[in-house]
Amino acid sequence: MNYPVWEVPFIGSQLVIAIIAIFHVLVSHFAVGGGFYLPMAEMLARRRGDLAWRAVVKKHSKFFLVFTAVFGTITGVGIWFSIGLANPEATSTLIHYFVFGWAMEWVVFLVELTTIAVYYYTWDRIPDSLHIKIGWAYAIASWLTLVIINGILCFMLTPGDTWVGVAGSGHETHVFWNAFFNPTYWPGLLIRTLFCLCIAGCFALLTASRIDGDKQPELKADIIRWSVRWLIPLFVLLPFAGAWYVWQVPAVQRHILELGFSTIGPGAFTVVTRMGLMFVLSFATLLAIVYLLAYRNPRDFKLGSAIVIILLMQAAIASTEMTREMLRKPFVIARHMFSNGVRLTQVAGYNAQGYLAQSPWVKASDRQAWAALDAQGAAATNAPDYQAQSFVRGQLMFRGQCLACHTVDGYRAMRGFLAGRDHKGVGNILTMLHDYKDDSPYHAFMPPLVGTPAEITALNVYLDSLAAPPQK
């Protein structure tokens, strides 16, 4: 534990990341898909000589610029801020091993911001042919940011045998491209590109819904139906892309998905099951609304219906992103680092020397007191300050190894999970987590509990305080 723990009451640090990230994914994917929508729509308007259509595209580009450049940038910074606090070990790993990738992304991102600003502010100031070329330059730059980020995101689930083989040796950067073009890279890129195009169509419907259907019925109907066609690739290709992606996921991670869906029959819905059902329902409802309200009756398509479509798309994105996150469990970087920041190669050392042995966040006086208690063995339980020292020690163990995914009261609350369990019951759970056997019910979802027997006993003491009913 090389960093102070960021304890977020009730919702937990991981949920903070999820809230920011899910909104950022919507905006950033719109930035990519909309980058293709704008020049293609402008080309169509120019070819038709339709000034009214061109005016709508220009209006849409203003909304696009403000929404993506402002909110996309803010949420992007928010992600970095939150992940750096919630899981500094994983964040540090991604920065150190993908320095070249982040450098490429920032260069392309600057080009992206520049070209979209130039594109909007040069409407009616430069020849249309040149303006369209600038639009295409933005489209390519924005898609390249996705190309780069997708490699790093997919790496966290499938780093690949080559990278895992050298992880921790100091030669990780020598196999940069192996890690970047990892097993799920290409299907992941296809899925995200499809979502980008679909989101572009959804937001175009938002702009088109504000056209007065009484004054400009043909224009509104034409733009809405053309925008709906942007959703067709997603509806047709996504099932095949999803199957390709799942096929590339290692069997160990795929087992979590299979386990989740196998519980639908008995009615024991896991998180993966709920996320899968959420995607199916939101996706199907989105298809129905788009066809019945937008494509079939474009002149009567209202702003409220367009907002519902955006919300359904947000739900579909949220469910797919949550499913991808669940597939990594119990890792944050598969086969390398657990969700609490403990590396796979550190488990044996922590068990032998102690999880808190080298922690800079432990006071020297506390460490000396713990060593004295450990030297007494079983007799230490009779010491007058045993409970107090064990509580402090156990709380540090809890903060370092449990707070990454749990809260005391709230999201994945430990108090609720442990309610009614006695000292022995809590100890049995800790023993299962520490032994980390393949047949353990926690093996597929939770990291191993590391530490010396004395540290685990101290954690038991601290958790007893959460399991006990509150004093009245």
User: What is the CB neighbour count within 10 angstroms for residue 365?
Assistant: 8
pLDDT value for 132: 97
CB 312 within 8 A of CB 374: no
pLDDT value for 1: 46
Encoded tokens for 147 = 């190309």
Dihedral sign of CA atoms 114, 118, 119, 121 in order = positive
pLDDT value for 277: 83
pLDDT value for 285: 93
Phi and psi dihedrals of 410, rounded to 5? 145, -135
DSSP secondary structure letter of residue 204: H
- How far is it, in rounded angstroms, from Cα 86 to Cα 7? 8
Instruction: Please state which architecture CATH assigns to domain 345-467.
Output: Orthogonal Bundle (1.10)
**Alpha-carbon 442 to chain mean position:** 22
Say what the pTM is.
Answer: 0.92
Nearest to 60 by CA among 261, 203, 230: 203
- How far is it, in rounded angstroms, from Cα 343 to Cα 75? 29
DSSP notation for 83-135: HHHH-HHHHHHHHHHTHHHHHHHHHHHHHHHHHHHHHHHTTTTS-HHHHHHHH
Cα angle 12-14-19, degrees, rounded to a multiple of 5: 100
DSSP notation for 249-297: S-HHHHHHHHHHHHTTTTT---HHHHHHHHHHHHHHHHHHHIIIIIISS
- How far is it, in rounded angstroms, from Cα 309 to Cα 209? 12
Tens-digit pLDDT string for the chain (472 aa): 456 678 899 999 999 999 999 999 999 999 999 999 999 999 999 999 999 999 999 999 999 999 999 999 899 999 999 999 999 999 999 999 999 999 999 999 999 999 999 999 999 999 999 999 999 999 999 999 999 999 999 999 999 999 999 998 888 889 999 999 999 999 999 999 999 999 999 999 999 999 999 999 999 999 999 999 998 888 889 889 999 998 999 888 777 777 766 666 655 557 777 888 888 899 899 999 999 999 999 999 999 999 999 999 999 999 999 888 888 889 999 999 999 999 999 999 999 999 998 888 888 888 888 998 888 888 888 788 888 999 999 999 999 999 989 999 998 999 999 988 999 999 999 999 999 998 888 888 899 999 999 999 999 999 999 987 655 5
